[in-house]
Structure 1
Amino acid sequence: MTAFRFLYILALALTVFALFVLWVWTGPVGVMAAAMLTHGLLRLCERQGDAQAAEARKAREDDLARAFRR
């Protein structure tokens, strides 16, 4: 399991936790804070995934360039 998938699953678990538990414990303010933190974590996961995809794309481009130079 990649770190990206683990963080994504963690973010989804935090979302469910916020919806069902934090509402009871802290009311709407706590849910809003948890939602904002979860949103930030999801954006972080997306950026990480984008960075990994860009690295893989760059490696493929370099491999193709090397193959055609021969």
Structure 2
Amino acid sequence: MAQATTNTDFYPKAGVLTRISAWFWEAMATISENNPRLRRVRALQALSDAQLAELKIKREEIVHHVFKDVYYV
């Protein structure tokens, strides 16, 4: 005797607007994570305190240092 089964989705798929919204926010996150300034911040945060001292940057001033030409403080 032959038995046939079909695979069905047990979980309902998200609606079109939900999927578009998820794609949009994922794309925005990818764009922001690949920003050269944010990569520079991460690189400076990875340095030791001694290395930052050689660059004359305090750890708490890294973000201000990288974005100083964008924001007036």
TM-score tier by shorter-chain length is: 0.3 to 0.5
Structure with bigger helix share is 1
Whichever of the two has the greater Rg, that structure is 2
TM-score by length of 2: 0.34
Higher relative contact order (CA 8 A, sep 6+): 1
So what's the TM-score if we normalise by structure 1? 0.35
